[in-house]
Amino acid sequence: MRRYNRIVKALLPTSARVTRAAGLALLATVALGVAAASGATPTAPTAPTGATGATGATGATGPTGATGATGPGGQTAPHGGGSPASLPVTPVLAPGAPPVTLTSYAQQVARWATTTLPGEAIRSAPSTRARTVARLHLLTSDGLPEVYQLLELYTDTHGTQWVKIAVPMRPNGVTGWVPEDDLGPFHIVHALIRVNLALKQITLYHDGKVVFRASVGIGKPSTPTPTGDFWVREKFPVDPPVPLYGPYAIGTSDYSNVETDWPGGGVVGIHGTDEPYFVPGDPSHGCIRLRNNEITRLYPLVQIGTPIEIF
């Protein structure tokens, strides 16, 4: 009940017109979005639609259980050992014990969560006295639950469990610490997307096995696709249709280093195209384009929270 009241209190100040009931409805929406994104069976009413697409499409339908990613998203990993794959989804550490790794691109395992307390501080170190580097937010610019990648877990000497998270914002690569209580349930993904810019190729791995590979269009020299480690924040059908983006879009945590006035502030998306003759090639403003038949194949295979290597 204490956490329930804390969550509702955090939601109420976000708008002068938000009521207690509206705060509960917002929580239900977020919980449903998380369940749908991980492929779980929703326990709340049908997910809301009408979110704006990260690539500029308006009215895109939010992710549903039917389009939730296949694979092990959200399942509990076996206990024992110290590697990310062998830890439980939400480990509990002894106070003062060394931090443990929650996400490893090399091992193709990642953990992620949404937030239950928008506006809470993300700090430079696991301490309430550390400086604030950013603040948690509930939704993406498209109105879907924001996804934070979980990097490390640490319990301080007072017994507070802290999580180091990767923050989806410009500049790319921002990280910080939040109390575990500020996040929702932990989810786990055993997958990896690799985008090879030199080969103009995208590859999806599940449990270490290649399950998808295709040619892509990438950013042109003046608006290159930024390299680094990122993750899947959202996915949705492009509805109503926008031919430029094809039938489906996958939103990433990657932000363009050049373009800032795109919808969503320059988020790099993985989506279809109405110019298939430029794939493979470098025609885009930074997004990763696939032929429409290829994005249609890829879309149902991709899980929310999947790590992405662009190199």
Q: What is the pLDDT of residues 33-55, one digit of tens each?
A: 434 444 433 333 233 333 333 33
**From CA 243, how far away is CA 6, in angstroms rounded?**
44
List the catalytic residue out of 158, 187, 271, 285. 271
Greatest CA separation for the chain? 59
**From CA 226, how far away is CA 232, in angstroms rounded?**
15
Q: What is the pTM of this model?
A: 0.76
| pLDDT of 129 strictly over 60 | yes
Model pLDDT, residue 87: 82
Model pLDDT, residue 90: 83
C-beta of residue 136 within 8 angstroms of C-beta of residue 120:
yes
Q: Which residues, 6+ apart, have CB-to-CB distance to 185 below 8 Å? A: 34, 74, 89, 90, 113
**pLDDT band of 262, cuts 50, 70, 90:** low
Active site residue 190: no
Burial status of residue 41 (CB atoms within 10 A of its CB: 0-12, 13-18, 19 or more) = exposed
Q: Phi and psi dihedrals of 255, rounded to 5? A: -115, 140
C-beta of residue 46 within 8 angstroms of C-beta of residue 28:
no
The DSSP annotation for 215-236 comes to E-EEE-TTSPPPPEEEEEEEEE
For residue 298, give the H/E element and its range: helix 292-298
Model pLDDT, residue 83: 75
Burial status of residue 157 (CB atoms within 10 A of its CB: 0-12, 13-18, 19 or more) = exposed
Q: What is the pLDDT of residues 180-211, one digit of tens each?
A: 999 999 999 999 999 999 999 999 999 999 99
3-state secondary structure at position 243: helix
Active site residue 187: no
Burial status of residue 158 (CB atoms within 10 A of its CB: 0-12, 13-18, 19 or more) = exposed
C-beta of residue 225 within 8 angstroms of C-beta of residue 195:
yes
Average pLDDT (204-219) is 98
List the catalytic residue out of 187, 190, 206, 287. 287
| pLDDT of 12 strictly over 50 | no
Q: Within 10 A of 179 (CB to CB), how many other CB atoms are there?
A: 17
Name the DSSP letter for residue 47: P
